[in-house]
Structure 1
Amino acid sequence: MSLPHTWMLQLLLVSNLLLWEHAVSAPMCLATEGYTELPIEELFDQTIVVAQYTSNLTKQMSEKFDESFAKRLVHKASNSSTCHTASLATPETNEQIQRTHLVNLLKAMISISRAWYHPLEHLVHAVAALKGAGKTMLLKVKEVKEKNQELLREIKKILVRVHPGAEENVYPAWMGLADVRSANEDTRHFALSNLFRCLHSDTYKVATYLEIVKCRVTRNNNC
């Protein structure tokens, strides 16, 4: 009777070892199980929705801030200040955009989004400390900060799909913190007004570029 028991025990041990080996290797398969890569057109569509929403939100924020805090500074801000992203070589006219390689447009969008990472962090703190700004404005600034990070992730995905192995461009540093924290109210409001204006300009640019790149990739530029 001992022989069958010994044989059965060995069989159970071997079976358990095989099951254990399979269980150890299982996570490698589970890591991709259920993952479905979005069709490129759908990836563009959902990214464009975020970009357009963000652009509209920044326009509202800029107009609301100027109306509430910087009416007499608006003309000065729009005519005498440059944006920290101005150093990026980005196409401005439709003709320039059409002549720019789509990979360069995608890399420009990534550079713009990355260039706003730190300014948006400080903008949240500045609005939180701004008397009379209200909870709504603060919530909108926080939302734009989150949407900008989401856009950065999604545009990177598109770049990888369109041009695997592409490297990101450098992005400009923001040097306006001293003015945003200035003890002088006019200086502070002027800096914030300019920051909101530039933020809208750049988010609008990203939304526009995305539409054009989508047209080139999914419609062979026939839109």
Structure 2
Amino acid sequence: MAFANLRLIHHLRVVHVLIYAGSHLLLLLVVSNLILCQGQENKPPYCRNQPGPCRIPLQSLFDRATVVANYNSRIAREMFEKFDQQYGQGISSTSKMVSNCHTASLATPDNKAKALNTEDKVLFSLLINLLHSWDEPLHHATTELPNLKGASPAILAGAEEIKEKTKVLLEGVEVIQARVHPGEEEKKNAAYPVWSEQSSLKAQDESVRQTAFYRMFYCLQRDSNKISTYLQILKCRLASCQV
């Protein structure tokens, strides 16, 4: 019993740290694991008298995931707008016409109406592909932004935040997918869209680097909006639209 209590205290300390880190979706996952270790008397109301392992309600998982996705979408939009305000005058109008993002190979619905007519399994696959495809670009963005002349601390902070929350969101979407469509999880070694502009971020020419970041942030805010939209559609279908 004493050992069990020590384990409980340890887990609660982890939860306390996560609260201050702001990773609410990850917090839900940790609490979910904690519940599995407790007796019936310590379970929340929705788990009491439930046979087998207790699981966080699907509604709660969707609520947290959509909050994170909406937040990422807003931060990505603000980050792009700030970058455009600071560097837009030095970027040619031709370069600003971003025709293709690195995720263009994904057959995503052109608009919300088409997304509403897309099957659940396809939307889950698109979500996971989009989230995975931004892992490398966001890593290089946070690494190279400090080297960009006059880069705003707010833009760097936004990139860091989106990078971390995208990882949390990916984990959350995978948990939801496994709950809704068991056995449909993406393969571990699946090929995701490859971002190929790392060399442009490291170029000696400042204008080349600015243009590369402009394209990246434009595509990031576009894809973040798609992620938020697809997740909200799935939430309304499979749980409830109420936040």
TM-score (norm 1): 0.80
Write out per-residue CA displacement over residues 85-115 of structure 1, whole angstroms, 9 at most, x where no aligned residue: 0101111223321221111101101100000
Give the partner amino acid of 1:89. A
TM-score (norm 2): 0.73
CA distance in 1, matches of 2:37, 2:159: 37
Work out which of the residue numbers 92, 95, 105 in structure 2 matches 1:87: 105
Work out which of the residue numbers 57, 61, 67 in structure 2 matches 1:43: 61
Asked whether 1:33 is paired with 2:37, we answer yes
Contact 1:88 1:171 in 2 (8 A): no
Give the partner amino acid of 1:33. C
Q: Cα RMSD between the aligned structures? A: 2.2
Structure 1 unmatched ranges of 5 or more: 1-22, 24-29
Structure 2 unmatched ranges of 5 or more: 5-33, 39-52
List aligned pairs for 1:46-195, cutoff 5 A.
46-73=64-91, 75-168=93-186, 170-195=191-216
CA distance in 1, matches of 2:175, 2:89: 40
- SS of the aligned residue for 1:70 comes to helix
Give the partner amino acid of 2:206. E
The structure that has the greater radius of gyration is 1
Residues 187 and 213 of structure 1, relative CA distance in 2, 3 Å threshold? same
CA distance in 2, matches of 1:85, 1:165: 25
Contact 2:200 2:209 in 1 (8 A): yes
Write out per-residue CA displacement over residues 31-51 of structure 1, whole angstroms, 9 at most, x where no aligned residue: 931374221111111100000
Residues 96 and 193 of structure 1, relative CA distance in 2, 3 Å threshold? same
CA distance in 2, matches of 1:75, 1:158: 42
CA distance in 1, matches of 2:214, 2:103: 16
CA distance in 1, matches of 2:207, 2:152: 19
Deviation at 1:128, TM superposition (A): 1.4
Structure 1 runs, 4 residues or longer, greater than 6 Å off: none
Contact 1:114 1:171 in 2 (8 A): yes
- SS of the aligned residue for 1:158 comes to helix
Contact 2:68 2:165 in 1 (8 A): yes
Which segment is superposed worse, 103-112 or 168-177? 168-177
CA distance in 1, matches of 2:85, 2:93: 12
Contact 2:112 2:229 in 1 (8 A): no
Aligned position for 1:20:
none
- SS of the aligned residue for 1:85 comes to coil
Alignment: residue pair count: 193
